[in-house]
Amino acid sequence: MTGPQAVPAPRVVIADDQELVRTGFRMILTARGIDVVGEAADGAQAVAEVRRLRPDVALLDIRMPVLDGLEAARRILAEAPDCRVVMLTTFDLDHYVYTALALGASGFLLKDVTSEHLANSVRLVSTGDALLAPSITRRLVERFAGATPAPATPAVHRDLARLTARELEVLTLMGGGLSNAELARMLILSEATVKTHVARIFAKLSLRDRAQAVVVAYETGLVAPGDRQP
């Protein structure tokens, strides 16, 4: 009888125009058993490295020469949909991050992130989870949704008629920043049932993760800036 198989180490590409940042992140991740398979000094190199190496996660600085992080993210997510993108930024709630989330990025990290949080975040997104807590995602969207034009999203995102009444209710509450546990308590459901509803919403609306679901809830008007959930 064999034991459980070990989970393969996430494979990561780091893109930042500062060599010291790339070196520091590589050393931190490598020391924690994460496989840094490539580095890039600008957005164009990042797209090329992801195309060549097919990593699980791409860490992209928002501000890079040749091709900025947003355009690099757009191209990577189009060419390598299985690659999870995390944006690197110097300032908390950078207004570009909202656009990145709408494009399908799984979250963002500050460049002064702790070593432990960096490694844990890479492992988290490599499993398919969104990096941002629902409340943080909501605050980010609320701050910039009105000021930042959202990128064009596939029409299916807006076809809320595909959702059942319960799924629409769950999406609205997700947009309000509620976690699965909070949804379960409010709707008097088990967390397993809530997770099933969330998975079906993702499938029907072609969403990558919870962060993008929050963005879509705002884009479609289910949730408006300033709304507060009970």
CATH code where residue 173 lies? 1.10.10.10
**pTM tops 0.75, yes or no:** no
The answer to whether position 206 is within a domain reads yes
The answer to whether position 88 is within a domain reads yes
Mean residue pLDDT across the chain: 84
Positions of the chain with pLDDT lower than 50, given as ranges: 1, 3-4, 152-156, 230
Whether residue 169 sits in one domain with residue 59: no
Give the pLDDT confidence score for residue 154 in this predicted structure.
Answer: 47
Of 97, 131, 165, the position where a domain reaches its end is 131
Between helices 95-103 and 69-79, what is the axis angle to 10°? 10
Q: Give the domain range for residue 164.
A: 155-219
Looking up tokens 């910039």 gives: 144
Give the pLDDT confidence score for residue 126 in this predicted structure.
Answer: 86
Of 131, 146, 180, the position where a domain reaches its end is 131
The answer to whether position 189 is within a domain reads yes
Give the pLDDT confidence score for residue 206 in this predicted structure.
Answer: 85
Give the pLDDT confidence score for residue 144 in this predicted structure.
Answer: 63
Whether residue 102 sits in one domain with residue 166: no
Whether residue 102 sits in one domain with residue 67: yes
Whether residue 173 sits in one domain with residue 79: no
Of 131, 165, 189, the position where a domain reaches its end is 131
Q: Which long-range contacts (CB under 8 A, 24 or more apart) does 32-36 make?
A: 32/115, 32/119, 33/9, 34/9, 34/10, 34/119, 34/122, 34/123, 35/9, 35/10, 35/11, 36/12
Give the pLDDT confidence score for residue 92 in this predicted structure.
Answer: 62
Domain tally for the chain? 2
CATH code where residue 53 lies? 3.40.50.2300
Whether residue 37 sits in one domain with residue 90: yes
Give the pLDDT confidence score for residue 182 in this predicted structure.
Answer: 87
Phi, psi (deg, nearest 5) at residue 165: -60, -40
The answer to whether position 138 is within a domain reads no
Whether residue 15 sits in one domain with residue 81: yes
